[in-house]
Copies of this chain bind each other. A is one copy, B any other.
Amino acid sequence: MSFLDRMKDCSVPDLSTYLPFVVGDEIVGYVKPSFAKTLNDFQDTFTITEDRLELNQKLHSIQERTQGISEVLESLARSGIVSGWRGERYKVSRTYYEPTVFEIERAAVPLFGTIGCSVHINGITWRNGKLCMWIGRRSLTKPIGPGKLDQIVAGGQPIGISVRNNLIKECAEEANIPAEIAVSSKSVGALTYIVEQPEGLRRDVIFIYDLVLPEDFKPENTDGEMEEFQLMTMNDVMSRVQETCDFKFNCAFVIIDFLIRHGYIEPDHQDYLKLISSLHNPKL
């Protein structure tokens, strides 16, 4: 088992087996042809041709588009095709920093292969001179990755809140980290990857923060999203990522990035550059 095994999930899928999802002139996502067929029932909103799924051009404004798609998704949720409804809206655009073309319910993001953005925090502290990391275990009721290991705090990035404010909110909800500690989180980079997962095509951007926690701080979940937290030495975290699939796939990516940034994986590791390039897809 190797760190690169964790990245196998990360080998960019063959997007030619998908139909580009086009709004105006821009590709904002990718859908499976089978899902496009399902959308054929909603011709007020979607137009399906042989080589693309198009949003009906009559839907001009962000609001009209969001409303039209929302109605389709509610119908698909009733028939069980869209599951794990979150009630959180994500921004849809060609790349994260370009203008919003519409908003979409988070649960539908992988079905449409639009960009999904989130924030992950490495919560670190010291015990007996050893660097340790607080690791969460995801609730067994989570729609994705139930029971898997996770960062101390991680959350989707809904529209209408800054990344830093979202981080402070998630710190409170997921680990009972008070705002006065959460604000000391240090922005340290971003991961971008395109992978196929059971829930669909994930084109993900993860903004990463490192947070040094006081030695006497103990996280507690307040929103039911985490089963428990455990403090692990970095060596334990490292071997758990290297030798098992216990971490949720993208939480393992965040750990690998941490191990590279903090000198636990060095240039003499034969997979060093492959790991780094797997974590940075230039298309996102």
A interface residues (Cβ-Cβ under 8 A, vs B):
95-97, 162-164, 186-190, 192, 205, 207, 260-263, 265-268, 270-274, 276-277, 279-282, 284
Contacts and interface: CB of A to CB of B under 8 A. Distances in A.
B163 A267 contact: yes
A205 B272 CA distance: 11
A95 B95 CA distance: 29
A184 to B, nearest CB: 10
A188 B280 contact: no
B188 A263 contact: yes
A197 B146 CA distance: 50
Contacts of A262: 186, 188
A188 B260 contact: yes
Contact of A282 (B186, B277, B284): B277
Nearest to A210: B263
Given A97-B272, A186-B262, A187-B266, 16 more contacts: A96-B273, A97-B273, A162-B268, A164-B266, A164-B267, A186-B263, A187-B260, A188-B260, A189-B261, A190-B272, A190-B273, A190-B276, A192-B277, A277-B281, A277-B284, A280-B282
Given A273-B97, A284-B273, A263 B187 contact: yes
Contacts of A189: 260-261, 276
Contacts of A96: 273
30 contacts: A95-B273, A96-B273, A97-B270, A97-B272, A97-B273, A162-B268, A163-B267, A163-B268, A164-B267, A187-B263, A187-B265, A187-B266, A188-B260, A188-B262, A188-B263, A189-B260, A189-B276, A190-B272, A190-B276, A192-B277, A205-B273, A207-B267, A273-B284, A276-B280, A277-B280, A277-B281, A277-B282, A277-B284, A279-B280, A280-B282
A203 B272 CA distance: 17
B192 A268 contact: no
Contacts of A187: 260, 263, 265-267
Contacts of A271: 97
Nearest to A266: B187
A162 B282 CA distance: 30
Which 8 pairs between the two chains have the least Cβ-Cβ distance?
A280-B280, A277-B282, A187-B263, A186-B263, A187-B266, A207-B267, A163-B267, A97-B270
Contacts of A260: 187-189
